[in-house]
Amino acid sequence: MKHWKEFLTGVSGNPLRSGIETRQVTELKKYISSLYTLLCVNTCALSFTHYAVAPAWMTLGMPGLLVAICALRAVHWWRLQPHDLAPKDAVRQLRATSLLTAVLSAAFVTWAIGLGRYGGPFEQGHVAIFVAVTVVACIFCLTHLPVAAFLVTVIVMGVFLVHHLTSGNHVFVAIALNTAFVTAVMVRILADNFLTFIRLVEAQARAERLADENARVAHTDGLTGLPNRRFFFQRLDGLLEEAAGTDAPFGLAILDLDRFKPINDTYGHTAGDRVLTEIARRLSAFAGPDITAARLGGDEFGLLIRPSGPEDEVIAVCNRICEALRAPIRVGETQVVADCSCGLALYPSAGRSADVLFDRADYALYHAKEHLRGAATLFSREHEDAIRAELAVETALLSADLAAEMEVYYQPILDTATDAVALVEGLARWTSPVLGRVPPDRFIAAAERSGIIHTVTTLLLRKALADATRLPPEVGLSFNLSSHNLASSETVCAILAAVRESGLDPRRLTLELTETALMRDFERARDAIATLRALGIQIALDDFGTGYSSLGYVHRLPLDKIKIDRSFMADIQSDLGRSVVVTILDLCQNLGLDCIAEGVETGEQLAAARRHGCRYAQGHLLGMPMPLDELLSRLRSATAGGRGRIWA
């Protein structure tokens, strides 16, 4: 019973059901034109056989009208595009077809029965054949519209049976019963086929929904609910294809949280997840038809922006987003500020491929973090020139004879209590035969990008250790490690091997680390520091006070020295600068750490460092970086003259 209910109400009883109506229209279009053609041919044949015995209006007028209607409907269905129909429009199309089918069925059977009154047994037999063939054809061709097929069957066969069963002619009665039996069987087959069709469509709909859900999950970040990196790059490829012929501009922006790692380290990963979720919620508020927001990974997010105005408006949008992300976020009983920087690249001026655009935006982000934290930086021609210059440095570095071209300069560190040189800091220098003298910050960064920083570090350390054996035994060596070195167990082992092979007392060696080096992987950095200190090597935290969580690192790490950043020494004459320096010195005293003041460039700064109890000082006033031979000469001169201080 349930199956027959579905059979009879499958079209109009539940519009929009699984999208079945659109599929019905699609399947009907394949056969309904053939049905109308068959009706036209059969109508013409029946009119022809009765032309000589029936009135003209029944053999020409009535069939002409019916054929014209069938032709118009055939053209209508031929022009119909089912996939362009909305589900509601498909339902209306099916209902209209069912209604018209009922009207045409009544018209055809009335006309045919009317013709049956004329002519002899052959003409009357033709009418019976016409009705039977018409019913069979309609059932077959209207399989995917069972309501219409059922109406045809009921109307045509009802009239046909009543007429023939009451005719008193045993042959007509037999024909009627035979036709009715065949029709009943075919209706049953029609019902089964249509129900199978319904199940198939629903199964396909479920499969499509499941596929859509899987695709959605595959393109969604599990933590934040934003689109993920895969979706971001697929959308980027789509924008590039759309813009290929028109050069329609769009922007690619990369957002990176400036203070996320300190928040994660201080409050834990649960708090970090809370921050990321809230950042994603705020980004979602900006998303829409012209802005796609995605989480690229970690604390990095991406934007694709289709601008409606000049590039200044795109920058303004990015700055508004940065401002929104800067608002405090409640984590438990406290509030934190994640802040974020943004790098922006515009198509086609910054590039025409996904990789180039992303790299340009990433470079602009790096520039923003270095020079304009908390705001958006647009990739510009100046950045392009800088990239070319960096590429030139990388190319020259990879082909360089590092052992011959690199050397170590030394800057003295003064013991303010004795005016003697206590340490010298080894500083890398590179003179390229192609580029000339390259600043250390440029070639160290290039070495990190190109993956040879470990080779460079080991080479320079071995040179510095060899030079240190020529220094007076009371003078120690301080050497900087890259942020990448502590993350490499291979480099740590190479450092230990170099110290052992040099013959230098490890207690004379101090390795300087920046907060950046610790932030890359704190746990691994702590293990590496413990390994180095086990050999007797001392550890100094460089540029103290410039990071976001230096106090946390001082508390959790086994350090020996702290270097006060030069920016604080430059401002030591002011009340605020003096207070900061005094606070750092008190911290070092309480923790039992030596303190080195960097950037001492005036006598007043040196006097202030002494006055406040800073044990060591370093800066241009006390000595510029110099080659080993010049350093040794100055040391000898200072010793001979009874002076500990080395003047630049």
Q: Phi and psi at residue 425, in whole multiples of 5°?
A: -95, 125
Smallest CA-to-CA distance from 421 within 588, 638, 621 is with 638
Task: Give the least confident one: 12-16, 213-217, 218-222, 500-504.
Answer: 12-16
Q: Report d(CA 195, CA 146) in Å as an integer.
A: 10
First-to-final CA distance of the chain = 105
Q: Which CATH class is domain 229-379?
A: alpha beta
Domain residue extents for the chain: 2-212, 229-379, 392-640
Task: Give the least confident one: 41-50, 248-257, 374-383.
Answer: 374-383
Mean pLDDT of 488-514: 91
Q: Report d(CA 43, CA 67) in Å as an integer.
A: 7
Mean pLDDT of 623-629: 93
Q: Report d(CA 602, CA 622) in Å as an integer.
A: 9
The average confidence (pLDDT) of the chain is 84
Task: Give the least confident one: 94-108, 161-175, 363-377, 577-591.
Answer: 161-175
b (16+ CB within 10 A) / e for 545-567: bebbbbebbbeebebebbbbbbe
Strands (E), 482-529: 509-513
pLDDT at 133 over 90: no
Rounded to a whole number of angstroms, the CA Rg of the chain reads 44
Q: If residue 426 lies in a helix (H) or strand (E), which one and from where to where?
A: strand 420-432
Residue carrying structure tokens 């030079």: 467
Q: Which pair of structure tokens corresponds to residue 432?
A: 């390229």
Measured from the Cβ of residue 526, the count of other Cβ atoms closer than 10 Å reads: 16
State the pLDDT confidence band at 499, using cuts at 50, 70 and 90.
very high
- The answer to whether the pTM exceeds 0.75 is no
In total, the chain counts a number of residues equal to 648
| Non-local CB neighbours of 459 within 8 Å, separated by 6+ positions | 402, 403, 406
pLDDT of 517: 66
Domain 392-640 CATH assignment equals 3.20.20.450 = yes
Mean pLDDT of 468-491: 88
According to DSSP, the β-strands at 476-480 and 406-415 are: unpaired
441, 477 contact by CB (below 8 A):
no
pLDDT of 183: 78
State the pLDDT confidence band at 412, using cuts at 50, 70 and 90.
very high
75-87 pLDDT, tens per residue? 888 888 888 888 8
302-333 pLDDT, tens per residue? 999 987 677 788 888 999 999 998 888 888 77
Mean pLDDT of 26-42: 86
Q: How far are the Cα atoms of 126, 166, 350, 363, 522 from residue 292, in angstroms, in the given order?
A: 69, 74, 19, 21, 34
pLDDT of 253: 92
Name the region of 358 (left: φ>0; alpha: ψ -120 to 50; beta: rest). Answer: alpha
State the pLDDT confidence band at 550, using cuts at 50, 70 and 90.
low
Name the region of 176 (left: φ>0; alpha: ψ -120 to 50; beta: rest). Answer: alpha
pLDDT at 604 over 80: yes
pLDDT at 645 over 70: no
According to DSSP, the β-strands at 376-378 and 340-347 are: parallel
Q: Between the ranges 76-80, 158-162, 195-199, where is the mean pLDDT highest?
A: 76-80
pLDDT exceeding 90 applies to what percent of the chain?
27
506-542 pLDDT, tens per residue? 999 999 987 766 766 777 888 888 899 999 999 998 8
